[in-house]
Amino acid sequence: MSPEDLLSLRTQIDSVDRELLALLNRRAALAQAVGELKKKEGSVVFRPEREAQVIDGLKAVNGGPLQTDSVAPIWREIMSACRALETPTRVAYLGPAGTFSELAALGFFGASIVKVPCASIDEVFRTTTAGAADFGVVPVENSTEGVVARSLDLFLTTPLFIIGETSLFVRHNLLRRENGLKEIEAVCAHPQALAQCHGWLSNHLPNIERRPVSSNAEGARLAAENPALAAIASERAASEYGLHVVSPAIQDDPHNRTRFAIVTRPESHPQPKASGHDCTSLVVSVVNRPGAVHDMLVPLKQHGVSMSRFESRPARSGQWEYYFYIDLQGHPDETHVAAALKELRAVCAFFKLLGTYPIDVH
């Protein structure tokens, strides 16, 4: 390619970029107009099912060469910037800066949000319940270690409900001020991260203390202050705290993913409408008698409703009783799902709908 050809292509790209900017500003103006109508109606700004439908529609008509997987993150940022023109969106998550929870929040809502980092999962629930944040982002399940028990327990005791989900590929790295493994006294990380890297730590740092902390980013902060400490955290945390990535990708499962729930107060946000690919989450309990769990599942089979998750947690009553956390495929607006939920509620001693929301759009 000659210099003239390259210059011509760059000139064309510059021209397209200006066209894109003009179109984005046109879209932003339309979003502002929608925002004014929503204010008059008193309706909410963020509708996860609407954003999911927009992304699905664009992916369906994408002719390339732009990869279809690139459509969702691009348009999430566009919609985030447009949404910010209507009203700032405050999002609580397990902080500080550099946690995977922060990455999940940015991936779901886009960068144009007001970040509200919290010291614990409990604080995320409290902050969102109190209205200091519009939404909270909490981890609920990991592909290696299973459910995040604290999040599940808090769904029982708070009024928050789920309006969205997102999953994140979790790539753990060993971070440190010194670029090497010598003279490490302790590895600091969230207990889930320590568990997800158990094999690597046993092989490479078998006699080193594993020190649980409130978040991986907190471990990175501690490692930045003390050269004898190492942390397990993201590359973003390494950049945030000026640490070396001593060993990348140390998680035992190369396909390690964490699923996050997006929670909010029911009085401030309506239940998302059906998007065509939805999940309904609930927690139930049954009387401790023979066949009770079987009877609980019969309505799902009879009405053709599939379960994608079934977890039990102790009720802490001292009577060996359990709560069951269930994810169903479908939306209560669908006739067969509504019928199954009605019959299921009738056979349960306790029934709480945790939320219904679009399945994660990659």
Angle, helix 71-86 to helix 48-61, in steps of 10 degrees:
140
Cα 59 to the chain's mean position, in Å? 21
Listed in sequence order, the DSSP H helices in 87-215 are 100-109, 121-129, 149-157, 191-196, 198-204
Report the distance separating Cα 48 and Cα 51, nearest Å: 5
DSSP letter (8 states) at residue 136: E
Of 265, 282, 263, which is closest to residue 159 (Cα–Cα)? 265
Spatial CB neighbours of 289, under 8 Å, sequence gap ≥ 6:
none
State the sign of the Cα–Cα–Cα–Cα dihedral 158, 281, 302, 308. Answer: negative
What is the secondary structure of 290-321 as a DSSP string?
A: TTHHHHHHHHHHHTTPPEEEEEEEE-SSSSS-
DSSP bridge partners of 116: 92
Q: Are 267 and 170 in contact (CB under 8 A)?
A: no
Report the distance separating Cα 74 and Cα 32, nearest Å: 20
Report the distance separating Cα 46 and Cα 54, nearest Å: 13
In our burial notation (b when 16+ CB lie closer than 10 A, e otherwise), range 116-155 reads bbbeebbbbbbbbbeeebbbbbbbbbbebbebbeebbbbb
Active site residues: 258, 260
